Amino acid sequence: MNFHEYQAKELFAEFGIPVPPGKVAASPEQAVDAAKALGGSQWMVKAQIHAGGRGKAGGVKFCKSTDEVKAAAAAMLGRDMETYQSGGRALPVNLVLVTDATNIAKELYLSILVDRDSKAVSFIASAQGGVDIEQVARETPEDIHTIEINFVEGLQPYQCRKLAFDMGLDAKQATQLTKIMLGLYKLFNERDLALVELNPLAILDSGVLMALDGKVNSDDNAEFRHPKLAAMRDLSQEDAAEAAAVQHNLN
């Protein structure tokens, strides 16, 4: 099963992976309320659909006023959105995520999955994030770094630090990346996930690392062990407008 970005970010927050504060909305008015509740003066309005590539399809909008938030939400909600990753289908937008707009210095790519060949849980990372990772793999494969995790030893902090330095991060950022990877590894194992992807994992102007987008797929065979995840799945399949009423807080 797949999850929306806001649901992925709720899981990230639970496992200590930094995400910007955000709230979901099912109407332009709710989006304005969400922006006001978040505070600040710059927000992103993001269509919640089960596909990436939203940025290029008009599903990720930078807003500098609550009027812009309202207009962006109105333009997205109730529409069907097709992206280059939506498999030729137009997906309904029933919810938007209103979230703090952050100042980005650099965008990284980080994912954890089971490597089909080695059958080992692996991290894949690149300093060339934010873009289509398949394209990076095709054009500059040397920019893709892979770490295999030994099943018995688990993820070792030195592996994370080496990866950080391979991607050109400094020592402070390496410490943050290590914490994020240990959190992801725990999330991946405890919730029987099949894939977690952070693209981008941003380095902000302040030097802080933060997940600005999240994709989570879980192992359907393990669903019975995770009623909370299954409940999230039900919500995402219905794409229920009531979801906004639940007022998910990402703090």
Residues annotated catalytic, as ranges: 109, 197
Helix (H) or strand (E) holding 135: helix 133-139
Member of 213, 226, 235, 236 binding ligand ADP (CB under 6 A): 213
Whether residue 226 contacts residue 192, with contact meaning beta carbons closer than 8 Å, is answered with yes
> Distance between CA 125 and CA 103 in Å, rounded?
21
Member of 20, 108, 174, 196 binding ligand ADP (CB under 6 A): 20
21 forms part of the interface with ligand ADP (CB under 6 A): no
> Distance between CA 123 and CA 64 in Å, rounded?
36
Q: Under rule CB under 6 A, which residues in 25-84 are in contact with ligand ADP? A: 44, 46, 52-55, 60
The CA–CA distances, whole Å, from 148 to 60, 159, 221 equal 33, 9, 23
Residue closer to Mg ion, measured from CB, 8 or 177: 8
Whether residue 217 contacts residue 1, with contact meaning beta carbons closer than 8 Å, is answered with yes
Residue closer to Mg ion, measured from CB, 23 or 46: 46
The nearest distance, CB 51 to ligand ADP, in angstroms, is 7
Beta bridge partners of 209: 203
Alpha-helix residue ranges (DSSP H) falling in 51-115: 66-76
| x/- track of binding to ligand ADP for residues 111-150 (CB under 6 A) | -------------------x--------------------
Q: Which residues of 16-55 are buried (b: 16+ CB within 10 A; e: fewer)?
A: ebbbbbbbbbbbbebbbbbbeebeeeebbbbbbbbbbbbe
200 forms part of the interface with ligand ADP (CB under 6 A): yes
| x/- track of binding to Mg ion for residues 161-200 (CB under 5 A) | --------------------------------------x-
Query: Which residues in this chain contact ligand ADP in the complex, by CB under 6 A?
Result: 20, 44, 46, 52-55, 60, 99-102, 104, 107, 130, 199-200, 212-213
| Residues at the contact surface with Mg ion, assessed by CB under 5 A | 199, 213
